[in-house]
Chain A
């Protein structure tokens, strides 16, 4: 039986995981490679590296880190952040990424997904959407939530899937950082019935939130979170034990 996936997300800026990470003994770790290894050893099913550097120099540091991570952990790696062209796909795939996630880049260039899917295969192309409520609609935002694109999320994601996106990450901007649980209502409206895997993001605050996610929306394939894992508010190994006890299939 296919397992539900638990995916920590690492935001990387200038070679470091932002927000630092306050655990592993009493030591702060901000080294993305070390953290990737720690998560992989704890049972993470996949990792997302999000490049939040703006400079070309930062880009170079990021790809070096990616290479090191891909030589150290042997689970699937998804890379996102600043992906706008096929050259960007090429750059991160050559450094060991398995999948590439596009967000603002796909909004800016509506052909990016289909061109990437033709060249690298749909399994490689992830559409990640930052979505918020706006006057009773679910709309897609770009540039880390700063721009309202006006695109209706349900239609936008279906368009991206029809263009060849092989996986969907739905990040609720309304739930993000609130730690009140995943945005079940938004996920259900925007993603139910999609023919490709769906990864829920935004809102996880405690292990029970993952249980509720997979119980209420059994078609959701994975749960993604960042700070709750970084701050050890949720430990992946005990989270997976809890899911298992609740009859949700996970890799133990």
Chain B
């Protein structure tokens, strides 16, 4: 079973239905026990980092998630869920993440040239290094982004995209991986990425 972590942040409908369309057994999960039962865990999220980190804590899922990650279970963070995997974020103050991947989350305004629109919304190309989740897609394939922050100071960047400057598109360290873009909204390319993740051992 693929667990989709349901901690009251964001819309799980599309993620759930995309996994179902791929033929996987996906479940929205609110308990630590279900996280332990799952073969794979997906951490979604939209909104503000501080608020989401707090909700994950209050739901009692922060520590179980870290435990499952340390046990070697494949974990995929999407969008804000990816950012939560990192050490800390500087969105509206300073907040601690799960620390599963080193690095910090900062505004893309610090990276991109002035005059470009923020958030970075739309389809943009991926440049990736070898990683199981990209085994079925091609360099330069486009995926759908909606974000104003991205991962910086991270030694585990596995994909980037170009928006006036190089932005982090995905991070990965051992069994833990995160996509800044939305694979569940990225058409056939996104579905291939989700499928590859669900087939990770």
Among A123, A196, A197, A221, which residue has its beta carbon within 8 angstroms of that of B46? A123
With a cutoff of 8 Å between Cβ atoms, the chain A residues found around residue B187 in the complex are: 40, 74-75
Interface hits, B118-169 → A, CB 8 Å: 118-125, 142, 144, 146, 162-163
Interface string of A50-68 (1 = CB under 8 A from B): 0000000000000000010
With a cutoff of 8 Å between Cβ atoms, the chain B residues found around residue A75 in the complex are: 144, 185-187
Q: Are A123 and B123 in contact (CB under 8 A)?
A: no
Residue B14 at the A interface, CB < 8 A? yes
Residue B92 at the A interface, CB < 8 A? no
Interface string of A1-44 (1 = CB under 8 A from B): 11101000000000000000000000000000000000010000
Given contacts A74-B186, A98-B185, A123-B46, contact A197 B13 (CB under 8 A): no
Interface hits, B1-31 → A, CB 8 Å: 11, 13-14, 17-18, 20-21
Residue A91 at the B interface, CB < 8 A? no
Majority SS at the chain A contact face: loop
Q: Are B121 and A195 in contact (CB under 8 A)?
A: no
Q: How far is the CA of A94 from the CA of B146 in the complex (A)?
A: 19
Q: How far is the CA of A1 from the CA of B184 in the complex (A)?
A: 21
Among B11, B21, B142, which residue has its beta carbon within 8 angstroms of that of A251? B142
With a cutoff of 8 Å between Cβ atoms, the chain B residues found around residue A94 in the complex are: 11, 13
With a cutoff of 8 Å between Cβ atoms, the chain A residues found around residue B184 in the complex are: 74
Q: Are A3 and B142 in contact (CB under 8 A)?
A: yes
Interface hits, A70-122 → B, CB 8 Å: 70-72, 74-76, 93-96, 98, 121-122
Q: Are A74 and B124 in contact (CB under 8 A)?
A: no
Q: How far is the CA of A67 from the CA of B125 in the complex (A)?
A: 29
Residue A130 at the B interface, CB < 8 A? no
Among B21, B47, B144, B162, which residue has its beta carbon within 8 angstroms of that of A76? B144
CB distance from B9 to the nearest CB of A (A): 10
24 contacts between A and B (CB under 8 A): A1-B162, A3-B123, A3-B124, A70-B13, A71-B20, A74-B21, A74-B184, A74-B186, A74-B191, A75-B144, A75-B186, A76-B185, A96-B14, A98-B14, A98-B185, A123-B119, A123-B146, A124-B46, A167-B121, A195-B117, A195-B118, A197-B117, A221-B117, A251-B123
What are the nearest 7 A-B pairs in CB distance? A71-B17, A251-B142, A96-B13, A3-B123, A251-B123, A123-B146, A74-B18
